[in-house]
Amino acid sequence: NAGVTQTPKFQVLKTGQSMTLQCAQDMNHNSMYWYRQDPGMGLRLIYYSASEGTTDKGEVPNGYNVSRLNKREFSLRLESAAPSQTSVYFCASSERGLNYGYTFGSGTRLTVV
Amino acid sequence: AQSVTQLGSHVSVSEGALVLLRCNYSSSVPPYLFWYVQYPNQGLQLLLKYTSAATLVKGINGFEAEFKKSETSFHLTKPSAHMSDAAEYFCAVSQAGTALIFGKGTTLSVSS
């Protein structure tokens, strides 16, 4: 099925470990996004890529890095995980730019102990 | 800076009753407005969007929302709630050239 695929679905890390969350879309969308969801906080934008070759910080970028590997793939890296990064992470993409409806992946549930 | 406020973190209705989920936005320029729904352990699905066309927007599953500039509101309604409507609902706003900013969400419970 066409859509946004995130891997892994679940992950437990120890404080200080690093990992990369993968995201791929097969809809030929130009723009891609990473959000984190925390109880009572809604979704907060971490980073986004308006088009291939560009990335920009969102509301909560500290502790994260991103790579827009190609038009399909947009990865999120935690260099040194902290318990405050325990969250559910969502990747999304949009066809016609920042102002149109986003298609979301099913999320990665990350726990940092 | 743009922002969105969802009034009421939790709304409970009976099956068949009117659903009203409130959203107010803050934007210095004409905004784009969206409602998304999230079922447990799933990603978000787009319910409907306002992009400066008709002020009354119809979405999926019988939901609709009305853009009221004078009240800076974009409330979500459904005439008759169904058990399957129980989920978390998010209002979101953006301006030209910016990514979506989400509200904190409203959990809708539907009782029989």
CB contact under 8 A, A42 and B96: no
pLDDT (tens digit per residue) in B32-44 = 899 999 998 888 9
Which amino acid, B42? Q
pLDDT (tens digit per residue) in A59-113 = 999 999 999 989 999 999 999 999 999 999 999 999 866 566 789 999 999 999 9
Min Cα distance A15 → chain B (Å) is 25
Question: What angle (nearest 5°) sits at the alpha carbon of residue B26, between those of residues B79 and A90?
Answer: 75
Interface-testing mutation among B25, B27, B102, B107, with chain A (most A C-beta atoms within 10 A): B102
Alpha-carbon distance of B16 to B7, in angstroms, equals 22
